């Protein structure tokens, strides 16, 4: 099964960007490959989805190009930037999940994880013009909702803070437990955002921060401010924090 899925992803990339990944495959050949793994109606839906997927990815390419002054062309983004490979897999897997296919979408995103270091659960919802600069170490959880024109840097985690257990002590599945990022959010490297919180439109979160509370639209969360707050609290309540 895994080898068949690997061939599907190779063919998917060929159909999306034949100038870069072309292997001469046609849409009907791709459909035939899908039939080996999914029912015919799903295979047809996924094959017909290719033009729409290309439009979505072109928006992601545009976001990566506009967001990185080191990028000299959109071709460079397509060929060299791991985020585009990860998003090819994610956006295809997400559509497959919407069509009711279970484990295969997870295999597809884990293939991208192994290839790029970017771990996006196929159940996450991601808007248009999304990009991740550098990419390695990014984790996006299953119930994340990400708006449009959002940019992440390497090492960002959008994770769950905690989850309830049933009477037998097992995690309750399917509940919303990951962050919501509204439009135009930027999160810098190695920041960790946990829980079902909302990061308001236009928020900027600095690097190496731990965020577990919602932010207001346009808020800027920086390391210096966090440190200043801790120092102020320590001066007010020295016994609670120890000596500086």
Per-residue pLDDT of 131-153, as tens digits, reads 999 999 999 999 999 999 999 99
Do 113 and 149 belong together in one domain?
Answer: no
Instruction: Spell out the alpha helix ranges (H) of 81-220.
Output: 82-98, 103-116
Q: What does the pLDDT read at residue 143?
A: 97
Residue 201 and residue 94 share a domain: no
49 with 62: CB under 8 angstroms?
no
* 96 and 165, same domain (yes or no): no
Check if the beta carbon of residue 119 is closer than 8 Å to that of residue 138.
Answer: yes
Q: Has residue 192 got a pLDDT over 70?
A: yes
Which CATH number does the domain housing residue 27 bear? 1.10.3130.10
pLDDT for res 242 = 43
Distance between CA atoms of 56 and 83, rounded to whole angstroms?
13
Q: What is the pLDDT of residues 145-186, one digit of tens each?
A: 999 999 999 999 999 987 788 888 888 888 999 999 999 999
Task: From residue 167, give the alpha-carbon distance in Å to each of 76, 162, 232.
Answer: 52, 16, 42
Instruction: Describe the crossing of helices 50-67 and 82-98 by its angle, rounded to 10 degrees.
Output: 150
Reply yes or no on whether the pLDDT at 225 is more than 80: no
Question: What's the pLDDT at 3?
Answer: 95
Q: What does the pLDDT average to over 6-24?
A: 94
Give me the domain span that covers residue 54: 1-117
Distance from C-alpha of 54 to C-alpha of 177, rounded to nearest angstrom: 30
> How many domains, the chain?
2
Average pLDDT over residues 16-33: 94
At residue 228, does pLDDT exceed 60? no
CATH number at residue 194: 2.160.10.10
Asked if residues 94 and 123 have their Cβ atoms less than 8 Å apart, the reply is yes
CA distance 235 to 229: 10
Q: How confident is the model at residue 45 (pLDDT cuts 50, 70, 90)?
A: very high
Residue 233 has pLDDT above 70, yes or no: no
pLDDT at res. 243: 37
103 and 166 co-located in one domain: no
The pLDDT value recorded for residue 227 is 52
Report percent pLDDT > 90 for the chain.
Answer: 83
199 forms beta bridges with 181, 215
CA distance 125 to 121: 9
- The whole-number average pLDDT for the span 7-27 is 94
**Residue where a domain terminates, one of 67, 83, 117:** 117
Give the single-character DSSP code of 158: E
Proportion of the chain above pLDDT 70, given as a percent: 91
* End-of-domain residue from the set 117, 139, 173: 117
Torsion from C-alpha of 103, 52, 72, 77, nearest 10 degrees? 10
pLDDT at 168: 87
How confident is the model at residue 239, as a pLDDT?
54
CB 151 within 8 A of CB 116: no
Average model confidence (pLDDT) across the chain:
92
Q: 196, 178 in Cβ contact below 8 A?
A: yes
What's the predicted TM-score (pTM) here? 0.89
Query: Are 104 and 135 members of one domain?
Result: no
Of 242, 221, 220, 222, nearest to 231 by C-alpha is 242
For residue 62, pLDDT beyond 90 = yes
d(C-alpha 123, C-alpha 95), whole Å? 9
pLDDT tens digit string along 98-115?
999 999 999 999 999 999
- β-strands 198-199, 220-221: how paired? unpaired
The half-sphere exposure of 93 on its side-chain side, counting CA atoms within 13 A, is: 30
Do 62 and 170 belong together in one domain?
no
Ordered alpha helix ranges (H), the chain: 2-16, 18-21, 27-35, 40-48, 50-67, 74-80, 82-98, 103-116, 223-236, 238-241
Domain end (from 69, 102, 117): 117
């Amino acid at each position: 099964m895994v080898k068949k899925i690997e061939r599907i992803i190779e063919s998917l990339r060929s159909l999306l960007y034949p100038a870069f990944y072309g292997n001469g495959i046609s849409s009907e050949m791709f459909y035939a490959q899908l039939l080996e793994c999914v029912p015919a109606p799903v295979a047809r839906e996924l094959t017909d989805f290719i033009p729409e997927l290309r439009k979505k990815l072109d928006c992601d390419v545009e976001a990566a190009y506009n967001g990185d002054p080191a990028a000299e062309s959109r071709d460079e983004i397509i060929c060299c930037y791991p985020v585009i490979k990860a998003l090819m897999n994610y956006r295809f897997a997400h559509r497959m999940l919407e069509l009711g296919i279970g484990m295969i979408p997870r295999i597809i995103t884990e293939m991208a994880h192994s290839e790029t270091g970017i771990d996006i659960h196929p159940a996450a919802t991601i808007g248009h013009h999304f990009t991740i600069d550098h990419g390695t170490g990014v984790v996006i959880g299953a119930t994340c909702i990400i708006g449009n024109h959002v940019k992440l840097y390497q090492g960002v985690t959008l994770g769950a803070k905690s989850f309830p257990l049933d009477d037998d002590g097992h995690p309750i599945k399917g509940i919303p437990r990951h962050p919501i990022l509204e439009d135009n959010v930027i999160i810098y490297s190695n920041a960790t955002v946990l829980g079902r919180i909302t990061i308001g439109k236009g928020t900027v979160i600095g690097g190496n921060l731990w965020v577990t509370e919602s932010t207001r639209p346009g808020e800027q969360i920086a390391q210096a401010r966090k440190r200043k707050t801790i120092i102020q609290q320590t001066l007010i309540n020295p016994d609670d924090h120890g000596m500086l």
